[in-house]
Amino acid sequence: MNEPNAAHLTQEKHPTSQQVSSEDPGSASIQEVRLQVIEAPASTGARDGQEAYEQGMGLFRQAAEYFEKAAQDPVYALKGFAQMGLSLKKSGKQADAVEAFRRALQVPSTSSKEQVQILYLLGRTLESLERIPESLEAYRWLRREAPQYRDVAMRIESLSTRRIHRNNHQGQGNSPWATQAS
C-alpha cells in the first residue's frame, strides 16, 4: 500500500453532516445525510478493565441461573442445561459445568447429534479438571456414537498415554526395579 493511501486509512474523521447530490435525473433535490460519531469512553486504567472483566464473569453466572430456570420446562431442558454448562464453564466453575452437562445428557428427548456435542463438552471440561478417567469415559462413549467426531480419537490416545505415563511414574517409588536402578 502506498503512503498517501495508508495515511488516508489511519486518519480519524468526525463528520457531523454531509451533503449528497442525487444523480437520479428524476430527483433534483439535495439530500442531507446526518452521520453520528459514537466515541468510546477513554479507559482510565487497569481498574476499568478489571471491573469490566468481573462484570462479564458475573453475567455468565447470571446467565447460568436463567438457563437453569429455563431447564425446568421440559421443552427447554436440554438447551437450558447445555447452555447452563457453557455459562458455568466460561465463568470458571468447571465442576458445576460438569454437573450441568450430565443433567443435559439425562434429558429423554436428546438426539444423538446433541448427545455427541454435549459429550464432547463434558469430556473437554473433565479434561480441564484433570479428571482423566471420567474424561476418557465421556470420549469413549462419544466415539461409539460418532467415531470421526472432531479430535476425539487423538484425545483418547493422548489421555490414555498420559495416564499410563503418570501411573508408571507414581509406581516407580514402590518398584523393586526402581531401587535397583538407583
Query: Which range (54-63, 65-74, 148-157) has the least confidence?
Result: 54-63
Inform me whether the pLDDT recorded for 24 exceeds 60: no
pTM: predicted TM-score of the whole model, two decimal places = 0.65
Inform me whether the pLDDT recorded for 82 exceeds 70: yes
Tell me, what's the pLDDT at 176? 44
* Average pLDDT of the residues of the chain: 78
Stretch 61-87: mean pLDDT: 96
Q: Chain-centre distance of CA 1, in angstroms?
A: 36
Stretch 18-42: mean pLDDT: 46
Adjacent-strand bridge partners of 17: 34
Domain ranges of the chain: 59-167
* Residue 9, number of CB atoms within 10 A of its CB: 7
* Structure-block grid coordinates of residue 22: 442525487
Domain at 59-167, CATH from 1.10.260.40, 2.40.30.10, 1.25.40.10, 3.40.50.300: 1.25.40.10
Query: Which range (16-30, 91-105, 115-129, 136-150) has the least confidence?
Result: 16-30
